[in-house]
Amino acid sequence: MKKKKIYLGSFVRLKQPSYLRGVVEETISYNGNSFMFFLGSPQRFQVVDKNKLDIKIFETLLKKYQINRNNVFVHLPYLINLANYNNPRVLHNSKQLMKANLKLCEYLQIKRVILHPGCALKNNRRFCLQKITEHLDEILEEFPSIIVCLETMSGKGSELGRNFDELKIIIEKSKHPKQIAVCFDLCHLYSAGYDLIKNWEGILKEFDEKIGLDKLLVCHINDSKTPFYSQKDRHANIGKGQIGLQPIQKIIHDSKMEGKTMILETPYIDEQPPYKEEISLLLNLDNEK
Ligand SMILES: [Zn+2]
């Protein structure tokens, strides 16, 4: 059997004192070859101090471990809501926070970022999606090297991006569609009503028809604690949720997913990251029965 190149890694923490050295070394300690991190607390309107980011060390380590920057993703903060058009303060802060993140990405030469599309709150969903496009375009214009991957959401509360049609609305109206791509999240997809167990092929086909498979750059690999179409967002460890190990393994090894980055975002177990074990479990086809 021809060995496929699989880019599998995890969420890692940018933290003192090691910062960028830390995120690469943490990845290597899990035997990962891709990773994703936040450039600050996901819940605060702040980014890490640029002086803490040693780009030379980052460069050296990425080279040493042969990690391509295409497999390095920054997750933008959860607080950003470009759909909140009727709250000028939140909208302004969202844009500022996004720009501050993208400036650091430019500095680090990281091109690919992940964004939760936003929340409609009590507003009309379609109108909100149009507002996201408008505000996203304004930001993308300033950052021509950046590609924003919109994440598929579970649809909890008023979350936007709960299906491919909503993501399509954001992308197709954009003046910079080449700078917008998509991030799958297996937990969110399953929870939003995409049956990964019975209909993975159909899901990919639908995505390809509506948005285009080449737009799918990255996939968050999570099981789901809550059942199919529960519209909740509770990540479970691999093989310990409602999706199960085999469907997730099948997705990772699917030839249509070749070249796409896979990132584990599963919960810590007894305060310990489960990523080394989960990477090994997912890559080991002997588990496939
Ligand atoms: Zn996310």
> How close is the Cα of 68 to the center of ligand 1, in Å?
21
Q: What phi, psi does 24 have (nearest 5°)?
A: -70, -45
Residues 6+ apart with CB under 8 A from 31: 276, 279, 280
Res. 288: pLDDT tops 60: no
Domain count for the chain: 1
Residue 164, domain member (yes or no): yes
Residue 283, domain member (yes or no): yes
Res. 275: pLDDT tops 70: yes
> How close is the Cα of 153 to the center of ligand 1, in Å?
8
Mean pLDDT of the 49-72 span: 97
- Could you tell me if residue 66 is left (phi over 0), alpha (psi between -120 and 50 degrees) or otherwise beta? left
| Neighbouring residues of the ion ligand 1, judged by CB less than 5 Å | 151
The pLDDT mean for the chain works out to 96
Task: Tell me how far apart the alpha carbons of residues 289 and 274 are, in angstroms, rounded to a whole number.
Answer: 23
Task: Tell me how far apart the alpha carbons of residues 205 and 185 are, in angstroms, rounded to a whole number.
Answer: 17
CATH number of the domain within which 126 lies: 3.20.20.150
Percent of the chain with pLDDT over 90: 94
Residue 259, domain member (yes or no): yes
pLDDT band at 289 (very low <50, low <70, confident <90, very high): very low
> How close is the Cα of 289 to the center of ligand 1, in Å?
30
Residue 102, domain member (yes or no): yes
> How close is the Cα of 2 to the center of ligand 1, in Å?
32
Mean pLDDT of the 225-246 span: 96
> How close is the Cα of 248 to the center of ligand 1, in Å?
18
- pLDDT tens digits, residue range 100-124? 999 999 999 999 999 999 999 999 9
> How close is the Cα of 75 to the center of ligand 1, in Å?
7
Task: Tell me how far apart the alpha carbons of residues 216 and 212 are, in angstroms, rounded to a whole number.
Answer: 7
So what's the pLDDT on residue 63? 98
Six-digit token pair at 117? 């599309």
pLDDT band at 41 (very low <50, low <70, confident <90, very high): confident
Residue 37, domain member (yes or no): yes
Res. 78: pLDDT tops 90: yes
pLDDT band at 43 (very low <50, low <70, confident <90, very high): confident
> How close is the Cα of 115 to the center of ligand 1, in Å?
7
> How close is the Cα of 185 to the center of ligand 1, in Å?
8
Is the Cβ–Cβ distance between 128 and 160 less than 8 Å?
A: yes
- Please list the helix, strand and coil fractions of the chain in percent, rounded to the nearest 5, in that order: 45, 15, 40
| Structural domain boundaries, residue 259 | 7-287
> How close is the Cα of 245 to the center of ligand 1, in Å?
21
So what's the pLDDT on residue 4? 72
* Alpha-carbon torsion (115, 25, 60, 70), positive or negative: negative
- pLDDT tens digits, residue range 248-274? 999 999 999 999 999 999 999 999 999
So what's the pLDDT on residue 285? 66
Task: Tell me how far apart the alpha carbons of residues 193 and 203 are, in angstroms, rounded to a whole number.
Answer: 11
pLDDT band at 44 (very low <50, low <70, confident <90, very high): confident
> How close is the Cα of 116 to the center of ligand 1, in Å?
6
Task: Tell me how far apart the alpha carbons of residues 19 and 179 are, in angstroms, rounded to a whole number.
Answer: 28
> How close is the Cα of 17 to the center of ligand 1, in Å?
25
Beta strands in the chain (DSSP E): 7-11, 35-37, 72-75, 112-115, 147-151, 180-185, 216-221, 223-224, 235-236, 261-264
> How close is the Cα of 41 to the center of ligand 1, in Å?
13
> How close is the Cα of 1 to the center of ligand 1, in Å?
34
pLDDT band at 284 (very low <50, low <70, confident <90, very high): confident
> How close is the Cα of 27 to the center of ligand 1, in Å?
18
| Per-residue three-class SS string for the chain | CCCCCCEEEEECCCCCCCHHHHHHHHHHHCCCCCEEECCCCCCCCCCCCHHHCCHHHHHHHHHHCCCCHHHEEEECCCCCCCCCCCCHHHHHHHHHHHHHHHHHHHHHCCCEEEECCCECCCCCHHHHHHHHHHHHHHHHHHCCCCEEEEECCCCCCCECCCCHHHHHHHHHCCCCHHHEEEEEEHHHHHHCCCCHHHHHHHHHHHHHHHCCHHHEEEEEECEECCCCCCCCCCEECCCCCCCCHHHHHHHHHCHHHCCCEEEECCCCECCECCHHHHHHHHHCHHHCC
Percent of the chain with pLDDT over 70: 97
Res. 3: pLDDT tops 80: no
Residue 1, domain member (yes or no): no
> How close is the Cα of 183 to the center of ligand 1, in Å?
8
Residue 2, domain member (yes or no): no
